[in-house]
C-alpha cells in the first residue's frame, strides 16, 4: 500500500524504519523550506520515500521562503515526485477574515507554473469552494495531473472535480466523518487514493502506525463500495502508481 500524503519530516528519525516497513511507498509533502530540506535528507536513506516541494497554504506567506522553494524546484526537479503541498487557506481564513485570498492565489499560481514546466503532478490542499478557484487555475495552465488531498466539499464541488480527470484522496476520518464518506460514495474507485496526512492525529489510530491507518480506510471503502478488500487495495495501489508514475 501507498500513503499518498504524509508529512514525514514531522516524525522523529528513530521511528522511520518501523513506520515505513509495512508500506510500499509514501508521498512526502513539504510545508516549507525547513521541511523540504529534511525530506531531501530522508529521501537519501529510503527508496520508498518520494518527495514533493511546496509551501503549505495554511500559514502566513513569506515571499522569501516561497522564492527559495521555487528555486529548490528548479534545482531538484529530477528528484521530485510532485509539487506540493500547495493550495488555499480554508481554515486560516475562517479564523481571520482579514486575510487576502488573492495573495494566496498568486503564490499557488507560481507553483502551478512549476508543475507545468517540469510535468510534475500537483498536490493540493483545496477543500470546499476553494477547489473551484483552484480548478480554474489548473485549467488555465493546462495541468493534467492534480491530487486534491483530504478532499471534501458539497456535491456541486464533487461534480466539478468529477468532470475532470483529477484524483482525490481520503484519510482515516472516513471511519466517522460523513463529509469524507460521501467522497467515497460519489467518486469511482479509480479516482481514489488513500493517505494518513500523518502526523495528523486520527481518532482511534496511532500516528506512527500508518499501515493500520491505511487498512482502516480500505475497510470503509470496502463497506461503502461493496468491493472486496483485496480488490480495493489493488485498485488504490494502481491509482497511486499510475498517477505518480511510481515503479
Ligand atoms: Zn498535508
Nearest of 27, 236, 19, 59 to residue 123 by alpha carbon: 27
Q: How far is the CA of 199 from the centre of ligand 1 (A)?
A: 9
Residues whose beta carbons lie less than 5 angstroms from ion ligand 1:
85, 197
Q: How far is the CA of 228 from the centre of ligand 1 (A)?
A: 28
R_g over Cα of the chain: 17
Q: CB neighbours of 138 closer than 8 A, spacing ≥ 6?
A: 112, 122, 146, 164, 166
Q: How far is the CA of 165 from the centre of ligand 1 (A)?
A: 21
Instruction: Assign 124 to helix, strand or coil.
Output: strand
Q: How far is the CA of 194 from the centre of ligand 1 (A)?
A: 12
- Domain-by-domain residue ranges, the chain? 2-244
Q: How far is the CA of 232 from the centre of ligand 1 (A)?
A: 23
Q: What are the pLDDT digits (tens) for 48-89?
A: 999 999 999 999 999 999 999 999 999 999 999 999 999 999
Q: How far is the CA of 170 from the centre of ligand 1 (A)?
A: 11
In whole angstroms, how far apart are CA 152 and each of 90, 127, 155? Answer: 12, 6, 9
Instruction: Assign 80 to helix, strand or coil.
Output: strand
For domain 2-244, the CATH class is: alpha beta
Q: Alpha-carbon dihedral of residues 224, 135, 33, 26, nearest 10 degrees?
A: 30
Instruction: Assign 148 to helix, strand or coil.
Output: strand
Largest interatomic CA distance in the chain: 49
Using 50, 70 and 90 to split pLDDT, how confident is the model at 189?
very high
Q: How far is the CA of 7 from the centre of ligand 1 (A)?
A: 6
* Composition of the chain by helix, strand, coil, percent to 5: 55, 15, 30
C-beta of residue 10 within 8 angstroms of C-beta of residue 85 = no
**What is the model's pTM?**
0.97
Q: What are the pLDDT digits (tens) for 225-244?
A: 999 999 999 999 999 999 99
Q: How far is the CA of 125 from the centre of ligand 1 (A)?
A: 7
Amino acid at each position: 500500500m501507498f500513503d499518498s500524503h504524509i508529512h514525514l519530516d514531522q516524525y522523529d528519525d528513530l521511528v522511520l524504519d518501523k513506520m515505513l516497513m509495512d508500506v510500499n511507498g509514501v508521498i512526502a509533502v513539504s510545508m516549507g523550506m525547513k521541511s523540504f530540506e529534511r525530506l531531501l535528507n530522508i529521501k537519501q536513506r529510503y527508496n520508498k520515500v518520494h518527495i514533493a516541494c511546496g509551501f503549505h497554504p495554511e500559514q502566513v506567506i513569506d515571499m522569501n521562503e516561497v522564492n527559495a522553494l521555487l528555486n529548490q524546484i528548479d534545482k531538484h526537479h529530477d528528484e521530485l515526485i510532485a509539487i506540493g503541498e500547495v493550495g488555499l487557506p480554508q481554515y486560516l481564513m475562517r479564523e481571520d477574515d482579514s486575510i487576502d485570498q488573492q495573495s494566496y492565489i498568486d503564490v499557488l499560481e507560481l507553483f502551478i507554473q512549476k508543475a507545468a514546466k517540469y510535468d510534475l503532478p500537483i498536490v493540493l490542499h483545496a477543500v470546499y469552494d476553494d477547489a473551484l478557484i483552484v480548478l480554474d487555475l489548473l485549467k488555465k495552465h493546462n495541468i493534467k495531473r492534480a491530487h486534491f488531498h483530504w478532499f471534501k466539499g458539497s456535491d456541486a464541488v464533487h461534480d466539478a472535480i468529477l468532470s475532470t480527470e483529477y484524483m482525490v484522496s481520503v484519510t482515516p476520518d472516513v471511519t466517522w466523518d460523513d463529509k469524507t464518506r460521501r467522497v467515497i460514495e460519489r467518486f469511482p474507485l479509480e479516482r481514489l487514493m488513500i493517505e494518513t496526512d500523518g502526523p495528523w492525529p486520527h481518532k482511534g489510530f496511532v500516528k506512527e502506525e500508518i499501515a493500520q491507518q491505511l487498512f482502516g480506510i480500505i475497510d470503509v471503502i470496502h463497506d461503502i463500495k461493496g468491493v472486496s478488500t483485496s480488490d480495493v487495495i489493488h485498485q488504490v495501489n494502481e491509482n497511486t502508481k499510475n498517477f505518480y508514475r511510481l515503479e
